[in-house]
Amino acid sequence: MFFGLRSLGGGLVVIGLLVVAIAGTIRAFRVVAPRAAWLLAPYLAWVLFATALNGALWWLAR
């Protein structure tokens, strides 16, 4: 959405869903393999950073 369709709002929705999916994966992994859950933390941090960048671009462009 963000790059392909150049839609800042659509990209923000998609990346928000990705954050929810990663958080859900971490929560599910925490029960089975806590170390695996912790290994996903940097990925979540990176996606949250990308979300902040996307949100800032959307805010500036509106």
What is the tens place of the pLDDT at every residue in 2-60? Answer: 899 999 999 999 999 999 999 999 999 999 999 999 999 999 999 999 999 999 999 99
| Cβ atoms 37, 26 nearer than 8 A | yes
pLDDT at 1: 87
pLDDT score of 48 = 98
Instruction: Report in angstroms the alpha-carbon separations of 40 from 13, 23, 31, 45, 53.
Output: 21, 9, 14, 9, 20
